[in-house]
Chain A
Amino acid sequence: MDKIARIDMGAAGGPKVTVAGLGDYAGLGGRAMTSLVVAAEVHPLAHPLGAENKLVISPGMLSGTVGSMTGRLSVGCKSPLTGTIKESNAGGQAAQVLARLGYAAVILEGKPAGDDLYKIVISKDGIKVIVDNSLKLMDNYPVVEKLRKEYGDKVAYMTIGSAGERKMLAASIACTDPELRPTRHCGRGGVGAVMGAKRVKAIIIDDAGVTMRPAKNPEAYRDANRKFVEGLRKHPVTGEGLPAYGTNVLTNVLNEAGGYPTNNFKTGQFEGGSKISGEAQAELEIKRGGSATHGCHRGCVIQCSGIYNDKDGKYLTKQPEYETVWSHGGHCGISNLDAIAQMDYMDDNFGVDTIEMGVTIGVAMDAGLAEFGDEAGAIRLLEEVGKGTPLGCVLGSGAGITGKVFGVERVPVVKNQALPAYDPRAVQGIGVTYATTTQGADHTAGYAIATNILKVGGDVDPLKTEGQIELSRNLQIATAAIDSTGMCLFIAFAILDQPETFQALLDMLGSFHGITMTGDDVVALGKKVLSAERDFNTRAGFTKHDDRLPRFFYTEPVAPHNVTFMMKDEELDEVFNW
Chain B
Amino acid sequence: MKLETLKLHLNSDDLHLFFPLFQKGVTVPAIVGCTLKSLLVDQFAIPVDYVTDRITTIFLDNRPVDDLDRTIIQEGSRVTLSAAMPGLVGATMRRGGFYAALRQGISYAADSEKTSDTSGTVRLKLFNLLLAELAPTVLARGLILERDEFNELLRNLPPQTKHSQQDTGMILLTATF
Q: Is B158 an interface residue (CB 8 A)?
A: no
> Is the beta-carbon distance between A259 and B106 smaller than 8 angstroms?
yes
Interface residue ranges of A354-400 to B (CB < 8 Å): none
Inter-chain CA distance A460–B80, complex, in Å, is 28
Q: Is B102 an interface residue (CB 8 A)?
A: yes
Partner of A471, one of B56, B59, B80, B101: B101
Q: Which residues of B contact A449 (CB under 8 A)?
A: 88, 91, 98-99
> Is the beta-carbon distance between B57 and A279 smaller than 8 angstroms?
no
Q: Is A573 an interface residue (CB 8 A)?
A: no
Closest to A421 in B: B89
Q: Is B41 an interface residue (CB 8 A)?
A: no
**For B16, B54, B83, B98, which residue has the most chain A Cβ atoms within 10 angstroms?**
B98
Q: Is A277 an interface residue (CB 8 A)?
A: yes
> Is the beta-carbon distance between A252 and B127 smaller than 8 angstroms?
yes
Q: Which residues of B contact A245 (CB under 8 A)?
A: 128
Q: Is A566 an interface residue (CB 8 A)?
A: yes
Tell me the minimal C-beta distance from A566 to chain B in angstroms.
7
Interface flags, B136-155, vs A, CB<8A=1, else 0: 00000000000000000000
- The answer to whether A258 and B62 touch (CB under 8 A), given A279-B127, A427-B103, is yes
Q: Is A342 an interface residue (CB 8 A)?
A: no
> Is the beta-carbon distance between A426 and B103 smaller than 8 angstroms?
yes
Partner of B103, one of A249, A257, A283, A322: A257
Q: Which residues of B contact A237 (CB under 8 A)?
A: 84-86, 90
> Is the beta-carbon distance between B105 and A428 smaller than 8 angstroms?
yes
Inter-chain CA distance A428–B104, complex, in Å, is 8
At the interface with chain A, which of B2-10, B18-26, B162-170? B18-26
Tell me the minimal C-beta distance from B127 to chain A in angstroms.
5
Interface flags, B28-49, vs A, CB<8A=1, else 0: 0000000000000000000000
> Is the beta-carbon distance between A563 and B106 smaller than 8 angstroms?
yes
Inter-chain CA distance A49–B80, complex, in Å, is 49
> Is the beta-carbon distance between B106 and A257 smaller than 8 angstroms?
yes
Q: Which residues of B contact A490 (CB under 8 A)?
A: 86
> Is the beta-carbon distance between A428 and B23 smaller than 8 angstroms?
no
> Is the beta-carbon distance between B100 and A462 smaller than 8 angstroms?
yes
Inter-chain CA distance A322–B88, complex, in Å, is 13
> Is the beta-carbon distance between A429 and B99 smaller than 8 angstroms?
yes
Q: Which residues of A contact B98 (CB under 8 A)?
A: 449, 451-452, 462, 496
Interface flags, A471-490, vs B, CB<8A=1, else 0: 10001000000000000001
Q: Which residues of B contact A443 (CB under 8 A)?
A: 87-89
Q: Is B82 an interface residue (CB 8 A)?
A: yes
Q: Is A270 an interface residue (CB 8 A)?
A: no
Partner of B83, one of A241, A247, A259, A461: A241
> Is the beta-carbon distance between A283 and B19 smaller than 8 angstroms?
yes
Partner of B80, one of A256, A278, A425, A451: A256
Interface flags, A503-537, vs B, CB<8A=1, else 0: 00000000000000000000000000000000000
Interface flags, A307-324, vs B, CB<8A=1, else 0: 000000000000000100
> Is the beta-carbon distance between A430 and B88 smaller than 8 angstroms?
yes
> Is the beta-carbon distance between B103 and A429 smaller than 8 angstroms?
yes
Q: Is B122 an interface residue (CB 8 A)?
A: no
Q: Which residues of A contact B83 (CB under 8 A)?
A: 236, 240-241
- The answer to whether A241 and B88 touch (CB under 8 A), given A257-B103, A279-B19, is no
> Is the beta-carbon distance between A249 and B128 smaller than 8 angstroms?
yes
Q: Is A447 an interface residue (CB 8 A)?
A: yes
Q: Which residues of B contact A241 (CB under 8 A)?
A: 83-86, 128-129
> Is the beta-carbon distance between A430 and B92 smaller than 8 angstroms?
yes
Interface residue ranges of B68-86 to A (CB < 8 Å): 80, 82-86
- The answer to whether A256 and B59 touch (CB under 8 A), given A250-B90, A274-B23, is yes
Q: Is B131 an interface residue (CB 8 A)?
A: yes
Q: Is A343 an interface residue (CB 8 A)?
A: no
- The answer to whether A467 and B128 touch (CB under 8 A), given A252-B23, A429-B92, A563-B106, is no
> Is the beta-carbon distance between B101 and A462 smaller than 8 angstroms?
yes
Closest to B20 in A: A274
Closest to A448 in B: B88
Q: Is A210 an interface residue (CB 8 A)?
A: no
> Is the beta-carbon distance between A561 and B106 smaller than 8 angstroms?
yes
Q: Which residues of A contact B23 (CB under 8 A)?
A: 252, 274, 277, 279-280
- Contacts A278-B128, A467-B101 aside, 9 further interface pairs with beta carbons under 8 A come to A237-B85, A245-B128, A249-B86, A252-B128, A253-B85, A256-B127, A257-B62, A258-B62, A449-B91
Chain A residues in contact with chain B, CB under 8 A?
Answer: 236-238, 240-242, 244-245, 247, 249-250, 252-254, 256-259, 269, 274, 277-280, 283, 304, 322, 422, 425-430, 443, 446-447, 449, 451-452, 460-465, 467-468, 471, 475, 490, 493, 496, 560-561, 563, 566
9 A-B pairs with least C-beta separation? A429-B102, A462-B101, A467-B101, A274-B23, A449-B91, A252-B127, A236-B84, A561-B106, A452-B98
